[in-house]
Amino acid sequence: MSKKRFNLPRFFTQLFFFALILMISVNKNLVEMGKGGIGFLSSASLHALCPFGGIVSIYQFTTVGTFVQKIHQSSFVLMFIVFAMAVLFGPVFCGWVCPLGTFQEWLGKIGQKLFGKRFNKFIPEMADKYLRYLRYIILVWVLYVIGISGKLVFQEYDPYFALFNFWTSEVAVTSLFILALTIVASIFVERPWCKYACPYGAVLGLTNLFRVFKIKRETSTCISCSACDRACPMNISVSASGVVKNHQCISCMSCTSDQVCPVANTVEMTTTKGGVSI
């Protein structure tokens, strides 16, 4: 049985963005309280740094030229950057950058210690299969409600906003409840919010259908050990795929030959023609 190798670049990338968002959030609160703040950081709010804010503002911006309440131009810029990366490499934002995804992953380490092989297998396969489409229903609901109200109503339910603002009066009780639920669920299931509820993950997940660099399994060298399946945090059957096009893939690279596959050049991120790999 192959042993998973530690992905140091990914770990430091996740740690950097988690620390950055935390410092920006704390800094904004310090500035608002008149306590100076951290000199080298912007006093921008999390709304200005959320690429999902660009998505929820598209309709209002194209029709009347304004942004949804609390959303800034920077969200549009970030949206285009994240989309460009997703078209090339898939949802790397989800697997490498998103602080809430990172937080769930860290909590999952506790679950792995407590439950061993049972971790991430508590939800019956049939129920899990349908629950994974719940995030698309949430996405449609969010876009619809924001479209008719022009307000960022998702903040009242967003565990990401709650995680980095739970000490302030801006956080709604509903978002704190959903954050608490996400924390508890993360002990049993890997990335539960990402799998079942995240509307932004739903959008980015669609790029797995047409991304340039895909996770590809070379069938001629595969030894069918299923190490890639066990390593995947999103429970994708990599060993049953020639090219992974699953809408839940987060491009974390955990299944690849660089990380867990015991055979070199068997599971890689590459163009579908196999001409270029990374």
Condensed to tens digits (0 to 9), the pLDDT of residues 63-112 reads 555 555 555 666 777 788 889 999 999 999 999 999 999 999 999 999 99
User: What's at 192, amino acid-wise?
Assistant: P
Identify the domain boundary among 165, 188, 206.
Answer: 206
Cα separation values, 19 from 22, 27, 97, 177, Å: 5, 12, 11, 23
Cα-Cα end-to-end distance for the chain: 25
For residue 166, is it left (φ>0), alpha (ψ between -120 and 50) or beta?
A: alpha
> Is the pLDDT confidence value at 274 over 60?
no
In this structure, are 104 and 234 located in the same domain?
no
In this structure, are 182 and 69 located in the same domain?
yes
Q: Are 228 and 235 in contact (CB under 8 A)?
A: no
In this structure, are 124 and 202 located in the same domain?
yes
CA-closest candidate to residue 226, choices 242, 240, 211, 246: 240
pLDDT value of position 184: 98
E strands in 138-212: none
- What gap in Å lies between CA 81 and CA 66, rounded to an integer? 20
Q: What is the mean pLDDT of the chain?
A: 86
- Which H helix or E strand runs over 271? strand 267-271
**Within-domain flag for 1:** no
In this structure, are 25 and 163 located in the same domain?
yes
**Within-domain flag for 180:** yes
- What gap in Å lies between CA 20 and CA 189, rounded to an integer? 26
pLDDT value of position 46: 66
In this structure, are 92 and 152 located in the same domain?
yes
Contacts 24+ apart (CB under 8 A), 163-167: 163/99, 163/100, 163/103, 164/21, 164/22, 164/25, 164/46, 164/99, 165/25, 165/29, 165/46, 167/29
> Is the pLDDT confidence value at 37 over 90?
no
Q: Are 64 and 219 in contact (CB under 8 A)?
A: no
In this structure, are 50 and 182 located in the same domain?
yes
CA-closest candidate to residue 234, choices 245, 224, 242: 245
**Within-domain flag for 276:** no
Identify the domain boundary among 184, 206, 228.
Answer: 206
SS3 277: strand
**Within-domain flag for 277:** no
Structural domain boundaries, residue 162: 8-36+43-206
Residue in the block written with tokens 């699953």: 246
**Within-domain flag for 278:** no
Q: Are 106 and 181 in contact (CB under 8 A)?
A: no
In this structure, are 261 and 164 located in the same domain?
no
> Is the pLDDT confidence value at 223 over 60?
yes
Number of domains in the chain: 2
Identify the domain boundary among 160, 177, 206.
Answer: 206
pLDDT value of position 32: 74
The pTM (predicted TM-score) of the whole model is: 0.87
